[in-house]
């Protein structure tokens, strides 16, 4: 049993070795002609410049919070916090670097068909996937072993939790900053390029095209990677801190005898999940067909194998750890974990149902575009809102099953532990899930490069087939991210409650919603996600506006650019710089909000803070689902029309659908995904500072 | 002190007499030429037909719930419930009948200028205002005197609360049904008439024009009246039931000696507010100028006088009732009431700031319409979301001040009573507030009639001046409705908690947000408003679609209609019938949701129900503000452009603004306003059935 943290650390090292192997494999693939290499290098330079600038800004924030942690909690908490932040940033940087190497190589491989191109794109994504999972698990196990097992310091679990706060800090800024960047560039490129200048997407004449492709990488690769890094770390930390802070509550029947099992169970699941992900990744092989069904099967094979193995191993682990006399039915917690996995999968499927053009909701929106942009917008809004109700129902089933499972093994009071481990069920296979998810933007970039390098249209056909697949695979990762966010935040919230009682048992914590301070907190909590959404939507608007003006200026001032005269190139670097500056400036206020508001509230009233976290969790969850799915639905309704329905490209319904898609851009790629992290940052900040509040 | 309920009843009778006086005054005014009388009659017929059909449907619902109440609670509760429903329906019917008489008479008076027309429109609205306030207060006082004072029956306060449930039932269906009707007709008339057929608004050739004008009456007059009827009754019931259910908690220092004061205080405020409203109504006099500032001053004079008098009288009452030894500082509860009034006013001003073209937010949206519909839509969404944060902050100030005030007079535990009476502060002057609010749609209709009867454009200029004023006066009533909804729901929520404990002290009620059942309830509660919004938005879409098809059919099949050939008239009755049928069919599911979900949840777990109510209250409040203000902002951005900015009517920015306005239509007139009632229906259902749950 004591070996489990070491095994988990070893599996993390194996994941990092696999990432290195995939890195070599990507590097070895040919990157194509000079033009392609040039484009790839430009995108890479832009993406790196953004991340470097972003990390510079974020490091100020990290240093301030580290000092606060060192003073208020413990100097070692600051160390653990910084470690979490640095490892998350490292995973993002490495993953993105490789993604920006894999794009042109995927284009080059696409010349020989999808069976060659799919593995290149997947391997590029897999470097991200296994860097994220490997560094998160290795860092966390190192922190745990160092402070809890080897040094046995005071506040050890607070210090371990600070690792999660570090990961959350990076995730929040990466999602917000990256989300603003990618949409500002996208909107800027589309609005002036496609609409005003009348040139196709990814046309080399458009000065914002490089920035647009950089955006895919900083938003969908680096942002998503940091998001999953923090979700994954958070899901393992939640049951550990819950156990630590509520030790006497959970194990009341057995004294402290069962504590170790509860501490290592999440690590054991992470261990088998990692091994399963490594094995699963070898099952991804491209076929010779561009048929989307066959490609989809090839890509999902890795995830399915990894999940199947994890399910089997979970049952074995549950019986191994909880089979003794100390516990009741050992299968209970296996049910919790597997229940989490199933609900996460179902959440992904729900998102797919509401956002894929295979199903009615998107077809209905496409149909509504016949009566103009207003009905298109209303259709997307109501679709997104209905999907909230469906997702809430699923989460509640997950919560109920996980709670019940926890009680089966641990007795009354163990239900919340079941909820905490259900989140790990969703995220145990993060390695392969992120690999598949990061594959999407690589394929998207590959298409952009094919277009900009003016390759044969057949190449673009292959990359398009790979790209369209990316949209549905992203739904799976989103389902897990959203579901685990709700469950992890709920478990962390409970840990927060225990931590307050632990820190000062005399302090009467009363989180009854009928109390006025709790209710005031609930109100603040419900209002915050709306404010956050408004700030990020406005930020995208302002940044996009700057981009639009710059693109217009270049078309106006650079002679021959619009006409595509030989040798005339746009000043892409200027667009990249504008996106970078604007998005970094805009990320500061919404990012700071997530940390400052709970801290101020907590020092005034912990009851109000409790209400705030609960209110923000439920409202933020609803708003996140609404925005993500409304945005996804509009996007695919537009693509459905572009595929030739309702008059196809250029028709009035298409124009209406483009309006919906543009409204949805900041919804689904900026505000929505950042909302989940907002919730967790607020909860984890409160948990880490719980002792200081009372 | 015992006289107060009788005084309140007497003031209610005075209000009804005033309504009768204004009715006579409206009736005596000339209604214009035959064409105008014909149009007026058509609108009146359509509106009555709708209300009759609606009440038929709703009566089924009322009967079912009455039987349930009779069986589960007490037969007398069913009586009180039906009384509340019938009186609310009566007020709606009477008010709307007069509103549909006042429209043509306002048009006729407009021929002699605004100084003649404004009083006609105001008096028409005042019949609604004083019918609503008079019947609500009279019915409530009668119920109170009968069951509490004269008969002293068991469960007397439950029975009084059932009166509020009756009012809420009518309000919910009137808002939902009326809201769907008005927007279906509006969208149908606009989309085919203005956009496809290219004819102006309110053109007699458009078959949907009559339905559109009917919609203003059933939505903005009858729906708004029922809304305020239930808000007003609810705000008086909340502190009464709070006192009754928590008697021992609040007055613990004084035995039951202070109870009577607490019971009659809300009635005393209602009494002085009613007298003040009656006096205030005589201060509304039209000037000779169409200058909006002067007109606005004339109209607001009534409200300002009424509010000023209420503030002064509140202080006197507080010293009269709470000046004795039983209580601490008597001014405390006066602070609560006046604080409520000020916050309600500030909420209205906030709504005005975010939705009036005098201020930056709307100008910004108008500016964003330069870059097309997508940025217009995003601008409105972020404006609406920011306004949530501002409104939440105001509500929290109101809650804090009212709570503090309550504690000053009543000691610890009295804070929640302060919150309950703050809501009365907002609504004591309902009589005059609703009069001013109902004025708006009458002026709007008057303009429609001027257009359809093809009167001289100078008449339309006068009615337009009166109408544009209506948009800002509506903001005041909205502020009070929204603010009181939050405060009343909070007080009713607390009553619910006490009622559960009263009914079965052995039942361990635990509303701690950290408990899983409460948290599950919170999640359901947060999801419900999204589902409700989606259902109502979709309902508007479907009903509008039917209307569009009918209008197209008529233009296609009635020869000479489009060309305006002499003697060719559209089949307006068919459009009215379609709107009626469609909106009634569509209101059933969202309406039933509000009653069925809390009942089912309550019978499964009262803790979960507590969470549900809290979650729905905070999320629903946020969503209601978001939808109302986003919708208002788009509407006025469009009007701002139509006034000649950004290229004026017909320009591309105008087209973009029209898209925003159409998106906002169901937001501000259907889903948003109905959301407030949804919250209260759910809370009051839970409170009435509290005893049955445990």
Q: What is the pLDDT confidence band of residue B278, given thresholds at 50, 70 and 90?
A: very high
- Under an 8 A CB cutoff, do B662 and A610 touch? no
Contact between A50 and A220 under an 8 Å Cβ cutoff? The reply is: no
Residue A251 predicted with pLDDT over 50: no
Contact between B335 and B401 under an 8 Å Cβ cutoff? The reply is: yes
Q: What is the pLDDT confidence band of residue B430, given thresholds at 50, 70 and 90?
A: very high
Q: Which of B392, B399, B513 sits opposite A527 (nearest CB)?
A: B392
Rounded mean pLDDT, B234-246: 91
Can you tell me the distance from the alpha carbon of A27 to that of A519, in angstroms, rounded to the nearest whole number? 56
Q: Nearest CA to CA, how far is A668 from chain B (Å)?
A: 13
Q: Each residue of A197-244: pLDDT tens digit?
A: 777 777 888 888 889 889 988 988 899 999 999 999 999 999 999 998
Per-range mean pLDDT, top range of A379-393, B484-498, B508-522: A379-393
Residue B101 predicted with pLDDT over 90: yes
Task: Look at A11-20, A257-266, A465-474 and tell me which has the smallest mean pLDDT.
Answer: A465-474
Q: Nearest CA to CA, how far is B534 from chain A (Å)?
A: 4
Q: Count Cβ neighbours within 10 Å for each residue of B573-582 and write b for 16 or more, e otherwise.
A: ebbbbbbbeb
Can you tell me the distance from the alpha carbon of A518 to that of A515, in angstroms, rounded to the nearest whole number? 5
Pull the structure tokens for residue A335.
Answer: 């049910």
- Residues of chain A with Cβ-Cβ distance to B510 below 8 Å are 512
Q: Which of B530, B615, B622 sits opposite A385 (nearest CB)?
A: B530
Pairs across A and B, CB distance < 8 A? 215
Task: Look at A663-672, B239-248, B621-630 and tell me which has the smallest mean pLDDT.
Answer: B239-248
Contact between A347 and A486 under an 8 Å Cβ cutoff? The reply is: no
Can you tell me the distance from the alpha carbon of B220 to that of B214, in angstroms, rounded to the nearest whole number? 10
Q: What is the CA radius of gyration of chain B?
A: 24
Backbone angles phi, psi at A512, to 5 degrees: -65, 125
Can you tell me the distance from the alpha carbon of B537 to that of A181, in angstroms, rounded to the nearest whole number? 32
Residue A495 predicted with pLDDT over 50: yes
Closest chain B CA to residue A530: B385
Can you tell me the distance from the alpha carbon of A347 to that of A224, in angstroms, rounded to the nearest whole number? 18
Long-range contacts of B246-255 (CB under 8 A, 24+ apart): B246/B413, B246/B416, B246/B494, B246/B495, B246/B498, B249/B413, B249/B498, B250/B410, B250/B413, B250/B414, B250/B417, B251/B410, B252/B413, B253/B411, B254/B326
- Under an 8 A CB cutoff, do B618 and A522 touch? yes
Residue B470 predicted with pLDDT over 80: no
Q: Count Cβ neighbours within 10 Å for each residue of B494-518 and write b for 16 or more, e otherwise.
A: bbbbbbbbbbeeeeebebbbbbbbb
Q: Nearest CA to CA, how far is B380 from chain A (Å)?
A: 10
Q: Which of A191, A493, A540 sits opposite B514 (nearest CB)?
A: A493
Residue A290 predicted with pLDDT over 80: no
Q: Nearest CA to CA, how far is A128 from chain B (Å)?
A: 33
Residue A252 predicted with pLDDT over 70: no
Task: Look at A9-18, A303-312, A550-559 and tell me which has the smallest mean pLDDT.
Answer: A550-559
Q: Which residue has the tokens 């035959």?
A: B34
Q: What is the pLDDT confidence band of residue A608, given thresholds at 50, 70 and 90?
A: very high
Residue B512 pairs in a beta bridge with A512
End-to-end CA distance of chain B: 36
Res A209: pLDDT:
87
Residue A255 predicted with pLDDT over 70: no
Residue B469 predicted with pLDDT over 90: no
Q: Each residue of B45-98: pLDDT tens digit?
A: 999 999 999 999 999 999 999 999 999 999 999 999 999 999 999 999 999 999
B198: alpha, beta or left? (left if phi > 0; alpha if psi -120 to 50): left
Rounded mean pLDDT, A304-314: 95
Q: Which of A378, A494, A523 sits opposite B618 (nearest CB)?
A: A523
- Residues of chain A with Cβ-Cβ distance to B493 below 8 Å are 513-514
Q: Which of A389, A497, A666 sits opposite B531 (nearest CB)?
A: A389
DSSP structure class, residue A329: -
Q: Which of A378, A510, A662 sits opposite B541 (nearest CB)?
A: A378
- Residues of chain B with Cβ-Cβ distance to A392 below 8 Å are 523-524, 526-527
Backbone angles phi, psi at B512, to 5 degrees: -65, 125
Closest chain A CA to residue B382: A534
Count Cα atoms within 13 angstroms, Cβ side, for B156.
17
Q: Each residue of B541-596: pLDDT tens digit?
A: 899 888 888 888 898 898 888 888 888 888 888 888 888 888 888 888 998 899 99
Res A247: pLDDT:
64
Q: With the C-alpha atoms ordered A57, A59, A65, A68, is the resulting torsion angle positive or negative?
A: negative
- Under an 8 A CB cutoff, do B666 and A378 touch? yes
Residue A195 predicted with pLDDT over 60: yes
Q: Each residue of A479-490: pLDDT tens digit?
A: 788 889 999 999
| The total number of residues written for chain A in this structure | 694
Rounded mean pLDDT, A353-370: 93
Backbone angles phi, psi at B390, to 5 degrees: -65, -40
Q: Nearest CA to CA, how far is B536 from chain A (Å)?
A: 9
Residue B286 predicted with pLDDT over 70: no
Which SS3 state, helix, strand or coil, does residue A512 take?
strand
DSSP structure class, residue A648: -
Rounded mean pLDDT, A470-478: 73
Q: What is the pLDDT confidence band of residue A249, given thresholds at 50, 70 and 90?
A: very low
pTM for the model stands at 0.94
What is the rounded average pLDDT for all residues in chain B?
91
Q: Which residue has the tokens 């940033």?
A: A89
Quickly count helices (H) and strands (E) in chain A: 22, 0
Give the CA angle between residues B598, B602, B606 to the nearest 5°: 125
Res A286: pLDDT:
67
- Residues of chain B with Cβ-Cβ distance to A622 below 8 Å are 526-527, 530, 619
Q: Around Cβ B297, how many Cβ atoms within 10 Å?
A: 12
Q: Around Cβ B338, how many Cβ atoms within 10 Å?
A: 23
Rounded mean pLDDT, A552-576: 86
Can you tell me the distance from the alpha carbon of A112 to that of A29, in angstroms, rounded to the nearest whole number? 13
Q: What percentage of chain A carries pLDDT values higher than 90?
A: 64
* Mutation to test the A interface, candidates B367, B382, B482, B617, most A Cβ within 10 Å: B382
Can you tell me the distance from the alpha carbon of B664 to that of A647, in angstroms, rounded to the nearest whole number? 27
* Mutation to test the B interface, candidates A412, A488, A491, A514, most B Cβ within 10 Å: A514
Contact between B423 and B480 under an 8 Å Cβ cutoff? The reply is: no
Q: Which of B373, B511, B518 sits opposite A659 (nearest CB)?
A: B373
Q: Which of B377, B382, B494 sits opposite A538 (nearest CB)?
A: B382
* Mutation to test the A interface, candidates B354, B369, B618, B686, most A Cβ within 10 Å: B618
Q: What is the pLDDT confidence band of residue B293, given thresholds at 50, 70 and 90?
A: confident
- Under an 8 A CB cutoff, do B368 and A541 touch? yes
Q: What is the pLDDT confidence band of residue B607, given thresholds at 50, 70 and 90?
A: very high
Q: Which residue has the tokens 């024009």?
A: B209
Rounded mean pLDDT, A5-23: 97
- Under an 8 A CB cutoff, do A526 and B383 touch? no
Q: Which of B389, B494, B530 sits opposite A527 (nearest CB)?
A: B389
| The total number of residues written for chain B in this structure | 694
* Mutation to test the B interface, candidates A530, A630, A679, most B Cβ within 10 Å: A530
- Under an 8 A CB cutoff, do B534 and A615 touch? no
Pull the structure tokens for residue A327.
Answer: 């516990």
Contact between A114 and A289 under an 8 Å Cβ cutoff? The reply is: yes
Res B377: pLDDT:
96
Q: What percentage of chain A carries pLDDT values higher than 70?
A: 97
- Residues of chain B with Cβ-Cβ distance to A382 below 8 Å are 533-535, 537-538, 541
ipTM: 0.94
Per-range mean pLDDT, top range of A132-141, A429-438, A673-682, B565-574: A132-141
Res A34: pLDDT:
92
Rounded mean pLDDT, A348-357: 90
Q: Each residue of B186-220: pLDDT tens digit?
A: 888 887 777 777 777 778 888 888 898 899 889 88
Closest chain B CA to residue A549: B371
Q: What is the CA radius of gyration of chain A?
A: 24
- Among residues B323, B529, B524, B343, which one has the least CA distance to residue B426? B343
Residue B389 predicted with pLDDT over 90: yes
Q: Around Cβ A98, how many Cβ atoms within 10 Å?
A: 26
Can you tell me the distance from the alpha carbon of A554 to that of A577, in angstroms, rounded to the nearest whole number? 14
Q: What is the pLDDT confidence band of residue A250, given thresholds at 50, 70 and 90?
A: very low
In order of A75, A426, B249, B497, the CA distances from A517 in angstroms are 32, 35, 18, 16
Cβ-based neighbours of B150, under 8 Å, separated by 6 or more: none
Q: Nearest CA to CA, how far is A374 from chain B (Å)?
A: 5
In order of A556, B502, B599, the CA distances from B691 in angstroms are 74, 8, 12
Question: Higher confidence at residue A663 or residue B324?
Answer: A663
Res B371: pLDDT:
86
A642: exposed, middle or buried (Cβ count in 10 Å: 0-12, 13-18, 19+): middle
A146: alpha, beta or left? (left if phi > 0; alpha if psi -120 to 50): alpha
Rounded mean pLDDT, A313-323: 95
Res B252: pLDDT:
45
Question: Higher confidence at residue A101 or residue A560?
Answer: A101
In order of A14, A163, A342, A441, the CA distances from A135 in angstroms are 11, 12, 26, 22
Residue B493 predicted with pLDDT over 50: yes
Q: Each residue of B503-545: pLDDT tens digit?
A: 887 777 889 888 899 999 999 999 999 999 999 999 998 998 8
- Residues of chain A with Cβ-Cβ distance to B520 below 8 Å are 396, 399-400
Residue B151 predicted with pLDDT over 50: yes
- Under an 8 A CB cutoff, do A663 and B374 touch? yes
């Amino acid at each position: 049993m004591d070996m489990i943290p070491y095994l988990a650390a070893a599996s993390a090292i194996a994941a990092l070795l696999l990432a290195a192997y995939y890195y070599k494999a990507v590097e070895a693939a040919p990157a194509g002609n000079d033009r392609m290499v040039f484009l790839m290098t430009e995108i890479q330079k832009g993406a790196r410049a953004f991340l470097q600038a972003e990390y510079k800004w974020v490091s100020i924030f990290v240093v301030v919070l580290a000092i606060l942690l060192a003073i208020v909690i413990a100097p070692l908490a600051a160390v653990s916090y910084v470690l979490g932040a640095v490892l998350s940033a490292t995973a993002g940087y490495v993953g993105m670097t490789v993604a920006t190497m894999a794009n042109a190589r995927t284009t080059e491989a696409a010349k020989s068909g999808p069976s060659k191109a799919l593995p290149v794109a997947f391997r590029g994504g897999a470097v991200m996937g296994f860097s994220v999972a490997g560094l998160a698990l290795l860092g966390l196990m190192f922190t745990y072993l160092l402070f809890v097992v080897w040094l046995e310091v005071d506040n050890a679990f607070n210090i371990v939790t600070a690792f999660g706060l570090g990961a959350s800090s990076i995730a929040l800024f990466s999602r917000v900053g990256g989300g603003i960047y990618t949409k500002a560039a996208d909107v800027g490129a589309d609005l002036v390029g496609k609409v005003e200048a009348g040139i196709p997407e990814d046309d080399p004449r458009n000065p914002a095209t490089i920035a647009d492709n950089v955006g895919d990488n900083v938003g969908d690769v680096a942002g998503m990677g940091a998001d999953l890094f923090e979700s994954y770390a958070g899901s393992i930390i939640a049951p550990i801190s819950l156990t630590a802070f509520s030790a006497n509550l959970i194990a009341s029947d057995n004294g402290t005898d069962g504590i170790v099992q509860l501490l290592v169970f999440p690590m054991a699941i992470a261990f088998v999940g990692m091994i399963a992900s490594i094995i699963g990744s070898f099952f991804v092989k491209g076929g010779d067909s561009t048929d989307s069904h066959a490609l989809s099967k090839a890509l999902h094979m890795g995830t399915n194998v990894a999940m199947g193995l994890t399910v089997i191993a979970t049952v074995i682990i549950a019986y191994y750890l909880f089979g003794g006399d100390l516990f009741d039915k050992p299968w209970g917690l296996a049910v919790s974990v597997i229940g989490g996995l199933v609900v996460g999968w179902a959440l992904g499927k729900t998102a797919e149902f509401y956002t894929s053009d295979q199903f009615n909701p998107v077809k209905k929106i496409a149909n509504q575009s016949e009566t103009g942009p207003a009905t298109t917008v209303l259709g997307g809004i109501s679709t997104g809102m209905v999907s909230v109700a469906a997702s809430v129902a699923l989460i509640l089933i997950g919560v109920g099953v996980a709670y019940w499972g926890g009680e089966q093994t641990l007795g009354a009071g163990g239900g919340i532990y079941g909820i905490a481990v259900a989140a790990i069920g969703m995220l145990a296979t993060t390695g392969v899930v992120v690999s598949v998810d990061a594959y999407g933007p690589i394929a998207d970039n590959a298409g952009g490069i094919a277009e900009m390098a003016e390759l044969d249209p057949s190449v673009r056909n292959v990359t398009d087939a790979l790209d369209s697949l990316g949209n549905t695979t992203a739904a799976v990762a989103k389902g897990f991210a959203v579901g685990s966010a709700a469950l992890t935040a709920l478990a962390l919230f409970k840990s927060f409650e225990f931590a307050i009682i632990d820190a000062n048992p005399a302090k009467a914590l009363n989180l009854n919603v009928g109390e006025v301070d709790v209710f005031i907190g609930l109100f603040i909590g419900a209002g915050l996600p709306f404010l956050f959404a408004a700030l990020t939507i406005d930020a995208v608007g302002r940044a996009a506006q700057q981009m639009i003006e710059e693109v217009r200026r270049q078309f106006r001032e650079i002679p021959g650019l619009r006409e595509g005269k030989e040798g005339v190139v746009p000043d892409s670097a200027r667009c990249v710089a504008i996106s970078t500056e604007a998005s970094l400036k805009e990320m500061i206020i919404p990012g700071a909000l997530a940390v400052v508001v709970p801290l101020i509230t907590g020092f005034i009233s912990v009851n109000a803070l409790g209400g705030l976290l609960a209110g923000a969790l439920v409202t933020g969850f609803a708003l996140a689902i609404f925005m993500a799915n409304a945005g996804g639905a509009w996007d695919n309704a537009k693509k459905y029309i572009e595929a030739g329905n309702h008059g196809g490209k250029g028709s009035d319904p298409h124009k209406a659908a483009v309006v919906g898609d543009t409204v949805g851009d900041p919804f689904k790629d900026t505000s929505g995904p950042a909302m989940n992290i907002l919730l967790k940052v607020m909860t984890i900040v409160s948990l880490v500072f719980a002792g200081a509040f009372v």
